[in-house]
């Protein structure tokens, strides 16, 4: 049954990756998405990530271990994001979607390697949330007792990935990329997530004493991603709006947080 458990975790990660492709679907109906809507969507994604981190991962981490362990994990998560930025600067590979379409095979492999570092925290969040798989109190699903936290994180990251798919699709659409390829490139940007989920699940399964560190790691990395990437991206998208789209960003953030916070206490 062990290999089936790993498959279940991989599928959960794959679902979140495929959800990124949903962000390209609006372009089958409209030719463009306004800056106002784009900023609001970045806000929604940010609110979801912060709420899932604070009320899902951090809360669960504190239930498993001390504040010190969770905080240490969070610092390691922040360090990973900083390292990812350093790698991107060093190798000269931008994560702008235009490079996906224009890259040759070797460049795509390099981009995928950078994306692996970039998307790893979200995969880790899914993997560690499955730590209590088949223990008492889980939701019966596919013959397993799936932890409520695992369902919550899978849903949260899936919803969060949809605005990311929109952000990937906008510049590619401007290049005239066909709609079906927009879907593919959106999914491509999140392909490392199921891999990260399996690695994290394997780690906490065989080294459960490090579970609080794992929860802190995922939460710290995801919150820092919001601060260092999502919010600056939203502000850049809102340059044409009054006050750089602050009202739309805050409104989207509040909406995302309000949607996910109650689910964490079900």
Residue 72 has pLDDT above 90, yes or no: yes
pLDDT class of 101 with cuts at 50, 70, 90: low
Q: What is the mean pLDDT of residues 77-95?
A: 73
d(CA 190, CA 169): 13
pLDDT of residue 2: 66
pLDDT of residue 251: 93
What's the total number of domains in the chain?
A: 1
Q: What is the mean pLDDT of residues 244-261?
A: 89
Instruction: Please provide the distance, in angstroms rounded to a whole number, between the alpha carbons at the two ends of the chain.
Output: 28
Of 239, 262, 266, give the one whose Cα is nearest residue 38: 239
pLDDT of residue 70: 94
Maximum average pLDDT range among 157-161, 239-243, 250-254: 250-254
What's the angle, vertex CA 20, arms to CA 141 and CA 212, rounded to 5? 55
d(CA 153, CA 129): 7
Maximum average pLDDT range among 64-78, 107-121, 123-137, 140-154: 64-78
Q: What is the mean pLDDT of residues 255-265?
A: 79
Residue 93 has pLDDT above 60, yes or no: no
For 246, the domain range is 2-265
pLDDT digits (tens, 9 = 90+) for 31-54: 778 888 888 988 998 898 898 888
pLDDT digits (tens, 9 = 90+) for 167-188: 778 777 777 778 888 898 888 8
């Amino acid at each position: 049954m062990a290999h089936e458990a790993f498959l279940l975790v991989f599928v959960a990660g794959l679902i979140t990756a495929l959800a990124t492709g949903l962000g390209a679907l609006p372009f089958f109906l409209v030719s463009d998405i306004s800056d106002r809507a784009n900023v609001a969507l970045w806000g929604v994604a940010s609110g979801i990530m912060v709420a899932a981190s604070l009320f899902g991962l951090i809360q669960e981490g504190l239930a498993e271990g001390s504040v010190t362990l969770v905080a240490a994990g969070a610092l390691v998560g922040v360090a990973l994001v900083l390292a990812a930025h350093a790698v991107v600067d060093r190798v000269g590979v931008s994560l702008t979607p235009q490079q996906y379409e224009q890259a040759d095979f070797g460049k795509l492999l390099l981009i995928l390697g950078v994306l692996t570092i970039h998307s790893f925290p979200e995969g880790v969040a899914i993997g560690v949330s499955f730590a209590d798989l088949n223990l008492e109190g889980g939701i019966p699903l596919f013959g397993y007792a799936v932890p409520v936290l695992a369902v919550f994180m899978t849903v949260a990251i899936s919803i969060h990935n949809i605005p990311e798919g929109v952000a990937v699709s906008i510049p590619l659409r401007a290049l005239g990329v066909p709609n079906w390829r927009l879907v593919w490139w959106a999914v491509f940007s999140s392909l490392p997530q199921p891999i990260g989920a399996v690695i994290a699940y394997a780690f906490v399964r065989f080294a459960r004493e490090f579970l609080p560190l794992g929860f802190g790691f995922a939460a710290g990395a995801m919150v820092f991603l919001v601060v260092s990437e999502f919010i600056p991206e939203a502000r850049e998208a809102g340059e044409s709006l009054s006050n750089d789209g602050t009202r739309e960003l805050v409104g989207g953030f509040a909406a995302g947080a309000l949607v996910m916070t109650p689910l964490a206490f079900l």
